[in-house]
Structure 1
Amino acid sequence: MKHFTKLLLAMVVTMGMVTGTVANDTKATHNVTILTADNSDGKITPKTIAAAFEKAGFFINDNRDMTAPWKKQIKDGTKNFDTLDFDVYNLFTIFKKDVVVKLGQKYPNIGLFSPMSMSIWAKKGSKTISVSSLSAAAMAEIMGVPADDAELVAYGKLVEETLRAALPNAKVETVSYEMKQPEGPLVSTAQFAMDPDGDWEEIKEEFQAAFEQELIPAMFINAGFNDLNYDMEESGFEGYTFYDVYSICYLEVIYTVAKTHPEAGAFAPCSMYMYQKRGTHTMEIGFPSVYNWIASLAIEDKASHDILLMAQKKMEDILKKLTAK
């Protein structure tokens, strides 16, 4: 019989994190950057933005139009779905395979941001288009790795440069809020004990099938799946038996939070890694918690706060159930 470990929460909040107003400093550093460009001629679209990233060598994991499913929920009279505030709202997920291969050799939790997420939006009647993204420094803090890692810094710079190319003459928006201290751990993790005498592929497939089945009644959407280990082995690195990443979304969560914080797409969909290092008998599982959203975006409204915590608990319960048998 398989032996399972209980759900663990990785406490990566450090005393030195800048997550709000610093003593004797009236301006906080923000994790999420919003670039807004004039789009009176309508030439900038989610497709042209994706094309700029493809040109820069990024893999486009998804460029999902969220207005269509939101409209359907509103039309169907689904509870908590009332109005559509956007002409455009896309969740855009990307990563650069060669960079992720290099970072994955040093930082096993690179899957937290592989793919990385962005939101692309234009409010109803607006002549502008905006894109939100998470800074490389913020990703480093969440991952618990050095912020001055040269490859990670260069990765962040390439994202910024590509966004500038995609949104000519864009300006960085100044937000009215300051970040807060996190209410909980920034990364949630679990461990799954794999039978050393069993077939790892069968064990993995069985676990993932059960995981995918649990997502359905919990109202989570499996928005993507990436086999990072394929690219790692192609490059000659064989440190993992497998390394998979799910992109998980919850329709009502992003709908609710985007009403007041459209930049929330910098955290959605959520990337959840599942990997096994060679020579071990443990599957490591992790995802960025919703406490990142709440702290980085200074979320105060009850509707957004409550639904984020609800989604967090649902995912924790799924993993606890699957790793407690």
Structure 2
Amino acid sequence: MKQIMKGLLLIAVILTGSTAASTADIQVFTADNSKGEITPATIEAAFKKAGFYISANRDMNGPFKKQFKESTFDVYNLFTFFSKEITLELVKKYPNIGLFAPMSMSIYTKKGEKTISVSSLTPEAMAKIMQIPVDNKALAKVGKMVKEALKLALPGGSFETLPYTVQKPTGPLVSSYHTELDEEDLNTAKEDFQMEFEGELASNGFVMAGFNALGDDFEKKNFNEYDFYDVYSICKLPVIYTVAKVHPEAGAFAPCSLIMYKKKNEKEMHLAFPSVYNWISSMDIKDKASLDVLLEAQKSMNKILLELTE
């Protein structure tokens, strides 16, 4: 496979004005659950009813206890979902919509508490990260669908006011790479690249939490502008375990969606993922333990992709 690195594109979103933004990037919806009737399964059913495709609904408490011998939660699930119809609508103009197809949520109950909470990104935050107009109607529709699903899933719930403000990011919000693939045998070149990539994930402590071949969905709807468009859902257990202790709402960013696509009229394959600087700025993360695992994960993923695209 011919791999020629064409360069590393780092997309930096600079917040103007003061050092902090006025609007929260993460929304946390919480409801009383003293009767235990609301579960990750009932929440999943509500999101399906609202029109979302569910990629995964993973119980993380088991892995937490297995690897770290403890958990500070009675419930902690990472939930990934997206609207196939709206994703198709958006990708026609914004190829990086796969950064949030699927979107991520955390479903959690802190140990001993009688409430259940769901965290997710606001449409405004997704627009900021993808650098698309904040008033995009399709993205606003997704936001409305999420709120309706939350109200259905968590009766009597309400949005919390988080005890921090969004800070100016200290690094690029999206890390992007591109490389050329062998056009004469594109399928084999792609498969070889992905096999090597997945091997590097495992050897660097990352878990492939999901995979969506969005390009197949596009073709079924007669949209054929891509040779392929794949999305990896990637997680690193020490990252979410460490950060969630202080910020359980961190599941709004985990697992991370890494896009890998090639347009038919281009020679290059594009790869991109939201960087950990989103976590740090959106949740005003300051504790050393969280910063250390986040920055190490960013460094590791950059190293993997840089070496593969050389």
Letter in 2 for 1:55: K
* Residue in structure 2 matched with residue 121 of structure 1 by the alignment: 108
Q: What SS class does the counterpart of residue 164 from structure 1 fall into?
A: helix
TM-superposed CA distance for 1:195, in Å, is: 2.4
Which 4+ stretches in 1 moved above 3 angstroms?
Answer: 14-19
What's the counterpart of residue 304 of structure 2? 318
CA–CA distance in structure 1, aligned partners of residues 20 and 115 of structure 2: 29
2:21 aligned with 1:35: no
Tell me if structure 1 keeps the 8 A contact 2:14–2:169. no
Cα displacement (A) at 1:14: 3.3
Indicate which of 283, 286, 306 corresponds to 2:292.
Answer: 306
Shift of 1:104: 1.0
Counterpart of 2:4 in structure 1 is: 4
Matching of residue 108 in structure 1 with residue 95 in structure 2:
yes
Conserved 8 A contact 1:19-1:295:
no
Describe the SS at the equivalent of 2:307.
Answer: helix
User: Shift of residue 231 of structure 1?
Assistant: 1.0
Contact 1:18 1:29 (8 Å CA) reproduced: no
CA contact (8 A) 1:19 1:296 kept: no
Report the TM-score, using the length of structure 1 for normalisation: 0.93
- Report if aligned partners of 1:136, 1:155 keep a CA contact under 8 Å in 2: yes
CA distance in 1, matches of 2:157, 2:39: 14
Task: Give yes or no for the alignment of 1:45 onto 2:39.
Answer: yes
Match of 2:57 among 60, 63, 82: 63
Residue in structure 1 matched with residue 267 of structure 2 by the alignment: 281
Aligned 8 A contact 2:50 2:148 in 1: no
Partners of 1:241 and 1:277 within 8 A in 2? yes
1:38·1:129 contact (CA, 8 Å) conserved in 2? Answer: yes
Gaps of 5+ in 1: 22-27, 76-82
Q: Which residue of 2 aligns with 1:151?
A: 138
Shift of 1:318: 0.2
The 3 A distance-change label for structure 1 pair 295 and 19 is farther
Say whether residues 1:199 and 2:193 are aligned partners.
no
Cα deviation for residue 9 of structure 1 reads: 3.6
SS in 2 for 1:231: helix
In the alignment, the residues of structure 1 paired with residue 180 and residue 75 of structure 2 have an alpha-carbon distance, to the nearest angstrom, of 43
Partner Cα separation in structure 2 for residue 69 and residue 58 of structure 1: 26
- Supply the AA of the counterpart residue of 1:178: T
The alignment's C-alpha RMSD in Å is 1.4
Could you tell me which residue of structure 1 aligns to residue 278 of structure 2? Answer: 292
SS of 2:203's equivalent? coil
TM-score, normalised on structure 2?
Answer: 0.97
* 3-state SS of paired residue (2:92): helix
Q: CA deviation at 1:16?
A: 4.0
Q: Name the counterpart of 1:229.
A: 215
CA distance in 2 between counterparts of 1:51 and 1:136 reads 22
Partner SS for 1:100: helix
